[in-house]
Structure formats: structure tokens, C-alpha cells
Amino acid sequence: MDEFNDFKFDWIENSVVASMLITSFLIGLYYTFCNKQETFVDYMLGGRNMGIFPVAMSLVASSVSGLSILGIPTEIYLYGTQVAAANFTLILLTLVIGVFYLPVYYKLQLDSHFEYLQLRFNKHVRILGITLFSLLMIMFLPLVIYIPAVCLNQVTGLSVYSIAFGISGICIFYTTFGGLKAVLWTDVLQNMFTFFGMVFAIIVSCFNLGGVSEIWRINKEGGRLEMFNMDPNPLARNTLWASSIGYFLNYLCILSVVPASVQRYLAVPTLTKARWTLFYVAVCLYIVLNLTTFFGMILYARYYQCDPVAAGVIKSSSQMVPLYISEVGKNYPGLAGLFVSGILSASLSSVSSWLNSIGGMLYKDIKDVYFPNVHHSEGTEFKIIRAVVITLGIASLLLIFVVDKLGTIFQLGITIFGTVLGSTMALFSLGMFFPRANTKGAVTGAIASFFLSGWIIFGAQYYIMTGKLKFPGKITSIDNCPTTIMENFNSSTSLLFNYTGVGSPVVADSSVALIYQLSYNYYVVIGLISGIVVGLVVSLLTEPPDIASLSPDLFTPCVHRFLPKKRQDERPDKASYELARNHENVEVVMDF
């Protein structure tokens, strides 16, 4: 291990990374100058005629960020495989989204799915939805940008912040000028780097560490193989219940109401193709997430006798994956460059997807709500959208300075999602599943959910930052560390913990209230449930909506049987939606 810090990228590694970045840049140039996007629908939805393959690959790429590739292996190394027990919920996700959510989006065929909130409630709810997602993006993207910067910093020696600014510039360029088609095809390219980098690293690791059976044995003896921890305690960090419920709801939110996901469903021409796209996404995600889980087992099999954080080789667990790749890369030229390119690709695809979707939708939603009578030319629209994308990208980039102070990157990512996703999911679910929900209920529920989740989450993060709330990992050792590196031994590290039982303990100061010790998996659960419950209670206590004036298309198909009979067979045409959408003072919009 004394040689790890000496490994730096040579021309082979640099060439691999550069080839990915240059190709992504060229795709952006192509769609900027050679295949220009002529209309808003072309720019944001690829003309609604994209194929299943690029859309599915783009959805996978935007869902699997560098957070997964770096965060999940580190999570497995520190806390065991319990989190991976929830991967099976991806199959259930395809059924729930395909049956309940996609039919609504396809019936309406909206340019921005936040328009749904105006059609179902009013324009203020629409603005509330886009505001919540803008906050989520600004909080989440700094983490996504920070991850590849850490990797490249370790193997190049360049400043984390210099790398972050450089790669973000390339990403913002092809996202801003190339539109959705550029984002989709760069995602396909970047997916290839991610997948082959991961597979190549796993094959080489199995060869070096004695095969799958030996890796399995070491993890079993170290207490890492944990799949069915049935502890019902909500304060336990990872259990089967916490992981499955939290995992399911997080991905349900990501794949059903996040703009980048809905945008891609609407980019294919039919509902059937969208459902097939979703199925392929679930299969690919299952494969990738299990590969990252096994890579975490590889990390433990390599470092179980000499923890690199405790030994002082690296400063934090977020550097563990690049440390290992640096070691393996010495003997396999190009491997480190390919793997780091994969991490970089995953992060770039997530950033580009989110910027592209939020930038265009933010323009569309604000214009339609506040300036409905203002009509811009296509050129002006593109200029405004590009300015919004650049502004959001820069704002997210500037926040990376606080990321490395907030715990493990996997837990941090789930925490950030929990702050906003639950309240936003509550808005759409209230609209689609509950005809009795009204505007006052939707607004009150979402705001109550946001502040309740934020209070719990930011309180917990405060105690984590001050050291009063800790999540020490399972047993690690420094018994076989080379003496040459022990001069950097960190005796205070939280990784030196002799716990060998089921689960992992939560160490909290007596001043930390129990609510702040709640498992991070339940943050999105609290947000969703509180938003729906408060929304329904307020709706029941206030004036009910005129359900007869609402189109059945605004509700998920299973709710149609509960609507007034005279409305069930009516299907207003797109012109009616356009009229309602553009009306300046719409409150109950679907009034035919």
C-alpha cells in the first residue's frame, strides 16, 4: 500500500479518459451544427420519435450516477450487503409505473409533465412542483460532479475543484447546445464505458483475489454477507425492511416523477414502447447494481486486513474505489483509465439529463404560468433555455465545496433525495389517485412534507457534521498493514470498530433526539406519507373539487370506475388541453 499514492495516469490512461470526453464533445457539436433541433419538441423530447434502445440506455445512465459506482461498493465494504437485498424491488417498479403513471402521461402528451399539476389543480401547484425539483437538482448535482473529481484527483494529482470545473464545462456545452438527442447518444456512449469498465475491473479482481468463492468466503467470515436482517427497529441503519421500502420508493420517485425520466418516456412514440423501455431499464439497473454490490465485496476481500482509512493511506471512505483501481491499474494498462471513464461517464450522464430536462421545463412552466400571452420564436426559446441550463449548472458546481463534509456519499445521496422526492411524489400521487384531493390539500401537503423531511434530515446532518451522530462500519483490521505506512495511522477513525453482529450500530450522543437517528432509508417514506395524509385531511376539511369538470385522463386508469359515470367515456382532444393550458386565469382547468 505504500505504493498507492505513487500511481499516476500515464498516456494510455489519459488517452482512454480523453477519448470519452472528446467523443461526448463531438456528439454535442454534431447536434449543434449538423443536426439542429428546430423546435421545442425536438430540443426537449427528440421529436417524440426516439427509439427504445437510446432512451432505455439514457434512463439507465441518468439513474446510475457515479454515486452508485463509488457509493454502493463503499457501502458494502463498511456495512455489508444488506442494502443489495432490495434490488429485487426493481421488477415491482416496472409494474407500478407502467400501470399507474405512464398511461396518464401518454394520454395528456404534455411538453412538461409539471403541466399536469396545473391541469389537475392550478398554476400555483405547478410552480410549487418545479420549484421543489429545482431545489433537488441544485442540492444533488454538486454531489454527482464531486464524485468523478475525487477519482481523477487521486490518479492525476490535479485539484478536485479544477477537475470539477473542467468536466462540468464539457457537460454543460453538449447539454446546452445539443438538446435531448445529444444527451441520449452521449448517454449510450458513456454507458458503454461504465459497463465495460466495471466488468473488466471485476474480472481482473477475481483473478487476483483467488476467484469468486474466495471473495465470498472472506466476506462471510467478515460479517459482510447480510441479506435478511428482519429487525423492525426504524432506527437501525440498514435492515431488509428499511432497505426494501426506502429503495423502492426512491426509485419509484426517480423513475415516475423526476423530469429526466418522464421526458424520456415521452420521447418514444407509443405507450407500449415506453413500457418496454421501462422493462429494459429495470433489467439493466438490476445487473449494474448487482455488479456494484459484488465490487464492494471485492473491496473488502482486498482490504479486510488493512483498512486504508484507518491506516492513513486515504482520508475518507469515498476515496476507496479509486485507491483500489489505482493499485490494480499498475499491472493492467488502460484499466484504471477505463474504470475512471466509467465513473466520469455515469456522472456526466446524470448531470446532462437533469440539466436538459429541468432547464427546458423551467422555461416552459414559468412562461406558461406568468407570461401566457408572450410568444417567443424558436431561436429566442433556445437562447433562454440555454441560459437557464448554464445558470443552473454553475449554481450546482459552486456547491461542491460543502459536499465532502457530509458523511458517506451513498447515504448522503439518499438523504438529498429524501428531502424533496417525497413531497413531490405526494403532489402527483394526490392528483392521480385521489379525486377528492383539492388544490389547498395538495399545496399544504407538499409544503408540510417538505418542511417535516427537511427538519429531520438537516437536523441529522448537523449532528453528523459535529460528530455527535456516527455510523461506524463493521469490523476492520490493520493487523497486516506494511510498517512503512503506519506512521499515518489514524487511531480515531470510526472504521476501527469491532462489531461483528447483524446490522451496524448507530452511535449517538445523548443530546441527539431519536427522530434524528432514524434510518436514512425512511426519509422519502416520511415525505410521501406525510404529504398524502396532510393533503387528504386538508382536502376533506375544505371545499371539494368539482370532479365532474375533471377529465378522466388526469387520473390513473384504476380510479376511472370511481368517477362520475357521465365523464368516464369522454376523451377531450389535444386542442382542449392547449386551450386550458394557455388560459391566463385557469384555476379549475379542465372545464369543458
Write the DSSP string, 5-54.
Answer: GG----HHHHHHHHHHHHHHHHHHHIIIIIS---SHHHHHHGGG---HHH
* Residue 549 φ/ψ region, left for φ over 0, alpha for ψ in the -120 to 50 degree band, beta for the rest: alpha
**CB-based contact 475:498 (threshold 8 Å):** yes
Q: How far is CA 249 from CA 159, 193, 445, in A?
A: 36, 29, 18
Q: What is the pLDDT of residue 435?
A: 92
**CB-based contact 264:58 (threshold 8 Å):** yes
Task: Locate 160 and state its grid cell.
Answer: 478536485
Q: How far is CA 82 from CA 3, 70, 227, 228, 296, in A?
A: 33, 17, 5, 7, 12
Q: What is the pLDDT of residue 39?
A: 59
Task: Locate 243 and state its grid cell.
Answer: 432497505
Separation between Cα atoms, residue 187 and residue 182, nearest integer Å: 8
Distance of CA 220 to the CA centre of its chain: 30
> Length of the chain in residues, anyone?
592
Task: Locate 350 and state its grid cell.
Answer: 446524470
What is the chain's pLDDT, residue by residue, as a tens digit (592 residues)?
Answer: 444 445 567 778 878 888 877 877 777 677 666 655 555 565 566 556 777 888 888 788 777 766 778 788 988 998 888 888 878 888 888 899 999 999 999 888 887 788 899 999 988 898 888 888 877 777 777 777 777 777 777 777 777 777 777 777 777 766 666 566 666 677 777 677 778 888 888 999 999 999 999 999 999 988 888 888 888 888 888 888 988 898 888 888 888 888 878 878 888 888 898 899 999 888 888 888 899 999 999 999 999 888 888 887 887 777 788 888 888 878 888 888 888 777 777 677 677 777 777 777 777 788 888 887 877 776 777 778 778 777 777 777 777 666 655 545 555 656 666 678 888 899 999 999 999 999 999 999 999 998 998 898 888 888 887 888 888 888 888 887 776 665 555 555 544 456 666 777 788 888 889 998 888 888 889 999 999 999 999 999 998 888 888 888 999 999 988 888 754 445 444 445 554 444 434 333 333 2
Q: What is the pLDDT of residue 404?
A: 54
What pTM was estimated for this model as a whole? Answer: 0.81
Separation between Cα atoms, residue 385 and residue 259, nearest integer Å: 15
Q: What is the pLDDT of residue 575?
A: 45
Separation between Cα atoms, residue 507 and residue 504, nearest integer Å: 10
Q: Which of 100, 127, 115 is nearest to 589 (CA)?
A: 115
Separation between Cα atoms, residue 472 and residue 243, nearest integer Å: 18
Distance of CA 497 to the CA centre of its chain: 30
- Listing DSSP states for 133-180 in one string gives HHHHHHHHHHHHHHHHHHHHHHHH---HHHHHHHHHHHHHHHHHHHHH
Three-state secondary structure call for residue 570: coil
Q: What is the pLDDT of residue 531?
A: 93
Separation between Cα atoms, residue 190 and residue 210, nearest integer Å: 31
**Cβ count near 159 (within 10 Å):** 12
Q: What is the pLDDT of residue 484?
A: 61
Q: Which residue has the cell 492525476?
A: 156
Q: How many CA atoms lie within 13 A of 333 on its CB side?
A: 5
* Residue 307 φ/ψ region, left for φ over 0, alpha for ψ in the -120 to 50 degree band, beta for the rest: beta
Neighbouring residues of 206: CB distance < 8 A, sequence distance ≥ 6? 212, 215, 298
Separation between Cα atoms, residue 6 and residue 49, nearest integer Å: 50
Separation between Cα atoms, residue 99 and residue 245, nearest integer Å: 20
**CB-based contact 472:506 (threshold 8 Å):** no
Q: What is the pLDDT of residue 437?
A: 93
**CB-based contact 365:42 (threshold 8 Å):** no
Q: What is the pLDDT of residue 297?
A: 94
- Pairing state of beta strands 469-470 and 507-508? antiparallel
Q: Which residue has the cell 448531470?
A: 351
Separation between Cα atoms, residue 206 and residue 203, nearest integer Å: 5
Q: What is the pLDDT of residue 40?
A: 58
**Cβ count near 579 (within 10 Å):** 13
**CB-based contact 420:135 (threshold 8 Å):** yes
Q: How far is CA 31 from CA 28, 175, 177, 200, 384, in A?
A: 5, 10, 8, 31, 18
